[in-house]
Amino acid sequence: DVKLIWQDNSNNEDGFLIERKDTVSGSNYEIIDSVGANEISYIDTTVKMYPSYIYRIAAFNNSGYSNYSDPIIITDIIITDIQKKYIVNDFRLYQNYPNPFNPSTTISYSIPEKQNVTIKIFDITGSEITLLKNKFQQKGSYEINFDGSDLTSGIYFYTLQAGNFSKTKKMILLK
């Protein structure tokens, strides 16, 4: 499977269009799927053992389509999860998914070097709710689940701290 993750730079889309082509047949891009507004990831479960695929993504609404993303080239479909970890080149904290959520959500992040990583959840007043992670991690991409079952509906924040890198994102719990 190939997992694509992108940033949602707008809030006026109706969804995202995912297109793919393979480099063996030289075919044109084909629409393989679409996802709803504010989705930031897609897993392509239909890949075959081609040498490489090229993906692109565009937002759409009733006015038309945005410009396509830069091409995303997947060159080795048999990459293992361990090998994927070493493709990371910079710190990233992605928007949790789903958002709004009830009662759980997934937080994804990447670190480009071995670091002690802390992920904390805060309420709207800035009070720390929980420490999700405090662990030394190797370079790579990671996901962690957050269960808000014991919390009330509202706006919460999550912060990734790794070395000198710190990033905070907002998430909404709707019960």
Per DSSP, the chain holds a count of helices (H) and strands (E) of 1, 14
Is the backbone of residue 126 left (phi > 0), alpha (psi -120 to 50) or beta? left
117 lies in the same domain as 159: yes
**Euclidean distance between CA atoms 89 and 25, whole angstroms:** 31
Residues 120 and 47 in one domain: no
Tokens read off for 100: 């709004």
Take residue 53 and report the two structure tokens written for it: 């695929």
Identify the DSSP state of 153.
S
Full pLDDT tens readout for the chain, 175 residues: 788 888 887 778 888 999 998 877 667 888 888 888 878 888 887 777 656 788 999 998 988 888 888 888 887 554 444 444 445 678 889 898 888 899 999 898 888 888 999 999 999 999 999 999 999 988 888 888 999 999 999 999 999 999 999 999 999 999 8
**Domain tally for the chain?**
2
Same structural domain, 106 and 168: yes
Q: How far is it, in rounded angstroms, from Cα 59 to Cα 140?
A: 28
> Which residue, 78, 99, 127, sits at the end of a domain?
78
CATH code of residue 13:
2.60.40.10
Residue 130 belongs to domain spanning: 88-173
